[in-house]
């Protein structure tokens, strides 16, 4: 009776408190979901996590907003103090990325801003390294956004753009090389899902936001020309349920 009770209690404890998860014997995979604003990246990654997480070891990462390292925290704190004391002007990255044709470039934001972008690149590399280790052990990593050389308006190097007319200065060149080195160390994902949404539809879905950056980011994804056995394009203009079903089918075929 005692043996039977212990077996029953251990089984219930494993399934309710510590449910078992499986790993792929041949090795896991890094799955990246990219798309413009309103394409449903978060909905898709959350749905994938719930679906695959029932049986497999799953790690979800937001590569657009990776966890801050201590260096990033210190740099951002110093940057906040500097802008509050007006030691250098506040120049948002959006004013550089989405500047209209013929519009004069903004002023130099200061080297701490460039260092902040280097820290962002380093944080993305550290998140990627964590994802790669997890996948190598047989787990599945689901990434919301991912740094790709073909995408320049999201999650890419910004030091050279922000430096403007000072990009040829010695310090700016050093920071730019360091930032690009971090991004070059990030290999492409094992499976890439591209959620394609027409720019007009993206602006309509995000009507409460500034339409200029929304349209620019969506246009870049809409015109993205990627091909290969590991790239899967999904029509994101359909309902969220239909999009998630298409993403699941693409992932299942790849795995």
Would the pLDDT of 101 be above 60? Answer: no
Query: Residue 42 has what pLDDT?
Result: 92
pLDDT tens readout for residues 229-252: 889 999 999 999 999 999 999 898
By the 10 Å C-beta count (0-12 exposed, 13-18 middle, 19+ buried), 170 is classed as: exposed
Query: Residue 24 has what pLDDT?
Result: 77
Higher pLDDT, 166 or 181: 181
Record the pTM.
0.85
Query: Residue 82 has what pLDDT?
Result: 84
pLDDT tens readout for residues 132-149: 999 999 999 999 999 999
Would the pLDDT of 102 be above 90? Answer: no
Residues 199 and 36 sit within 8 Å (Cβ to Cβ) = yes
pLDDT tens readout for residues 34-49: 999 999 999 999 999 9
Query: Residue 19 has what pLDDT?
Result: 54
């Amino acid at each position: 009776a005692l043996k039977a009770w212990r077996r029953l209690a251990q089984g219930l404890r494993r399934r309710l408190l510590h449910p078992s998860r499986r790993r792929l014997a041949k090795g896991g995979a890094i799955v990246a979901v990219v798309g413009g604003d309103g394409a449903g990246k978060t909905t898709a990654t959350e749905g994938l996590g719930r679906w695959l997480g029932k049986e497999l070891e799953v790690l979800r990462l937001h590569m657009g907003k990776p966890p801050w390292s201590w260096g990033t925290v210190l740099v951002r704190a110093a940057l906040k103090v500097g802008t509050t004391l007006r030691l250098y002007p506040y120049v948002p990255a959006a004013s550089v990325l989405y500047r209209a044709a013929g519009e004069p470039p903004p002023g130099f934001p200061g080297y701490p801003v460039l260092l902040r972008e280097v820290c962002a690149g380093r944080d993305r590399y550290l998140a990627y390294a964590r994802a790669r280790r997890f996948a190598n052990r047989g787990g599945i990593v689901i990434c919301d956004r991912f740094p790709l050389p073909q995408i320049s308006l999201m999650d890419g190097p910004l030091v050279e753009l922000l430096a403007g007319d000072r990009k040829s200065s010695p310090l700016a060149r050093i920071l730019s090389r360091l930032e690009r080195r971090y991004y070059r160390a990030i290999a492409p994902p094992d499976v890439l899902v591209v959620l394609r949404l027409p720019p007009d539809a993206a602006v309509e879905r995000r009507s409460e936001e500034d339409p200029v950056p929304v349209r620019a980011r969506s246009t870049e994804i809409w015109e993205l020309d990627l091909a290969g056995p590991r790239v899967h394009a999904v029509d994101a203009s359909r309902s969220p349920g239909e999009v998630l079903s298409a993403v699941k089918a693409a992932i299942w075929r790849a795995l």
